[in-house]
């Protein structure tokens, strides 16, 4: 075949694309298990961060297995309907408009001092993409113990600050979700302001990251409010 012909060029390109595509597919398949393991380990790291545990990379899985002593899946009535919280896709659940139809994951954490915390995941939208987080609650079902927030592409120095201690550390034992028997999710407000609901506890939003801050507030309201019955049951117990 004439190597200078158009037919030869087209065949050469087709063969080259097929070979390269096949090679990339095999590489992707070979790395998929490792990639999944890395994603799971990072999720474990974030869950532990909500209870102020920051293990070295090699200790993430052992520490997760050590401190997360139980996993629950509950419904909006507070009833347990499963035991594999890790497999629940929080993004998909957060988009179900009817909270009664959601599967709500709960991670039960037993700390070194024997105290028990309940970790609740959340998922929402920031300015440029998804945001998510984990809030840990004391065994009274009301008092916040800690929080971790993450994002996919918020602006560095602005919305991206939600993952920094300056924001996350506000979610501490001074905040409560039940007051006088009424449930009030933690609100995120502009610094110097107070929430519209005077009974709700609140944290200051990120300066210059108004949309992301509002996204965190909306995420907490959408994803944590359905746990009201479950948290109330902890309080009663």
- Given this model, what pLDDT does residue 166 score? 92
pLDDT in tens, 24-48: 666 666 656 777 889 999 999 999 9
Instruction: Spell out the alpha helix ranges (H) of 6-114.
Output: 6-49, 60-67, 90-94
- Given this model, what pLDDT does residue 121 score? 98
pLDDT at 120 over 70: yes
**For 90-127, b where at least 16 C-beta lie within 10 A, e where not — what string?**
beebbeeeebeebbbbbbbbeeeeeeebbbbbbbbbbb
Mean pLDDT for 126-143 is 96
**Average of per-residue pLDDT values in the chain:** 90
- Given this model, what pLDDT does residue 9 score? 67
pLDDT at 117 over 90: yes
pLDDT at 202 over 90: yes
Mean pLDDT for 181-210 is 90
What is the CB neighbour count within 10 angstroms for residue 154? 25
pLDDT in tens, 4-15: 666 666 666 776
- Given this model, what pLDDT does residue 17 score? 72
pLDDT in tens, 158-181: 899 999 999 999 999 889 999 888
CA distances from 130 to 72, 152, 191, 193, 225 (A): 25, 6, 23, 26, 19
- Given this model, what pLDDT does residue 188 score? 94
pLDDT in tens, 46-96: 999 999 999 999 999 999 999 999 999 999 999 999 999 999 999 999 999
């Amino acid at each position: 075949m004439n190597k200078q012909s158009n037919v030869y060029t087209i065949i050469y390109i087709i063969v080259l694309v097929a070979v390269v595509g096949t090679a990339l597919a095999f590489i992707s398949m070979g790395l998929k298990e490792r990639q999944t393991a890395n994603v799971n380990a990072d999720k474990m790291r974030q869950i532990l961060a909500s209870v102020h545990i920051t293990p070295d990379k090699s200790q993430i899985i052992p520490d997760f297995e050590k401190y997360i002593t139980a996993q629950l899946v509950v419904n909006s009535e507070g009833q347990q309907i499963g035991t594999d919280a890790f497999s629940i896709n929080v993004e998909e659940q957060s988009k179900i408009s009817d909270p009664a139809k959601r599967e709500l994951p709960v991670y039960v954490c037993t700390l070194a001092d024997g105290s028990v915390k309940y970790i609740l995941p959340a998922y929402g939208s920031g300015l440029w993409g998804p945001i998510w987080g984990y809030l840990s609650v004391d065994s009274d079902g009301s008092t916040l113990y800690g929080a971790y927030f993450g994002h996919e592409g918020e602006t560095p120095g602005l919305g991206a600050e939600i993952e920094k201690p300056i924001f996350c550390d506000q979610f501490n034992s001074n905040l409560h979700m039940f007051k006088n028997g009424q449930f009030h999710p933690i609100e995120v407000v502009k610094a110097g302001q107070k929430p519209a609901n005077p009974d709700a506890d609140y944290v200051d939003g990120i300066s210059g990251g108004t949309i992301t801050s509002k996204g965190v507030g909306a995420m907490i309201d959408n994803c944590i409010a359905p746990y009201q019955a479950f948290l109330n049951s902890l309080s009663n117990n």
